[in-house]
Amino acid sequence: MRSKIVAGNWKMNKNYKETKVLVKEIKKSIKRLPLDNTRVIIAPTFVNLSIATKRAEKSAIEVVAQNMHQATNGAYTGEVSAEMLKSIGVNTVILGHSERRTLFGETDKILTEKVNAALENELEIIFCFGELLEDRKSDKHFEVVKSQLENALFHLDALAWNHIVLAYEPVWAIGTGETATPEQAQEMHAFIRKLLQEKYTTVVADNTSILYGGSVKPTNAEEIFSKEDVDGGLIGGASLKVEDFTAIIKAI
């Protein structure tokens, strides 16, 4: 079901103690906010998912994972499976983040396997994708985004889309301080929704939440979120400070 979402991707930040502190601070600061149809999500590192989940109890905060392995179990040193996430009460996983693609070699094929494994284990997916700067400069951004979605998600049936949230993150805007303009975000989100309509149905297109990610800050969040097809944000750096994260939640 389409909802407004503000999700904080903590990446490789916050140790055990810092995680407890930040969850507590967010819990306190959003307590009296009228969240209505807005989901507040945080994605700490694997080692801190358990404590974050415990500390987020009795609050609106949902704790999700940043990644998972596609296999059920076995000889995959250093990896974490979908079933393991479920077993500690994590129900959502971020897949396809550009850092996973570029730094850890995750291809569309690997992502397809991860998507399938997540859905088999009844995990919701926040699926990230987005073009590189050279793609945009050479006017290939629509083509690139289309192929990322087609390659990893378009084998799914319409029902599976009840468990998918999309996060458009132009790589050139991640951690750079350079944000897509609200118009650029809207243009791409509308394009994505049209793809969903053509491949599936208007219902799937209308019910899928599409988030924008890439240097979202308290100063630009409201304008980006005001766009018709932008349902919220996937926030990196600004999700690590309670004041900034709260201000972004308020902007939605």
Closer to ligand 13P at the Cβ: 65 or 205? 65
Query: Which of 69, 97, 141, 189 is flagged as catalytic?
Result: 97
Closer residue to ligand 13P in complex, CB, 115/232: 232
Concerning whether 223 is annotated as a catalytic residue, the answer is no
Alpha helices in 93-181 (DSSP H): 98-103, 108-120, 133-137, 141-153
State the minimum distance, in angstroms, from the CB of residue 176 to ligand 13P.
Answer: 7
The answer to whether 224 and 230 have CB atoms below 8 angstroms apart is: yes
- When CB distances to ligand 13P are compared, the closest residue is 236
Contact 192, 210 (CB under 8 A): yes
Of these residues, 99, 106, 131, 169, which one is catalytic?
Answer: 169
Give me the least distance between CB of 203 and ligand 13P, in Å please.
28
Which is nearer to ligand 13P, 71 or 132 (by Cβ)? 132
Instruction: Choose between 232 and 237: whose C-beta lies nearer to ligand 13P.
Output: 237
Contact set with ligand 13P (CB under 6 A): 9, 97, 169, 174-175, 213-216, 234-238
Please state the closest distance from residue 96 (CB atom) to ligand 13P, in A.
10
For ligand 13P, the closer of residues 141 and 205 by Cβ is 141
Q: Which amino acid is at 249?
A: I
Catalytic residue check, 97: yes
Secondary structure letter of residue 20 according to DSSP: H
Tell me how far, at minimum, the Cβ of 215 lies from ligand 13P, in Å. 4
76 torsion bin: left (phi>0), alpha (psi -120 to 50), beta (else): beta
CB count, 10 Å around CB of 1? 7
The count of other CB atoms within 10 Å of the CB of residue 164 is 20
Residue of 141, 65, 153, 66 lying closest to 103 (CA atoms): 66
Determine contact, residues 231/210, Cβ cutoff 8 Å: yes
3-class secondary structure, 202? helix
CB of 73 to ligand 13P, least distance (A): 27
> Catalytic residue positions?
97, 169
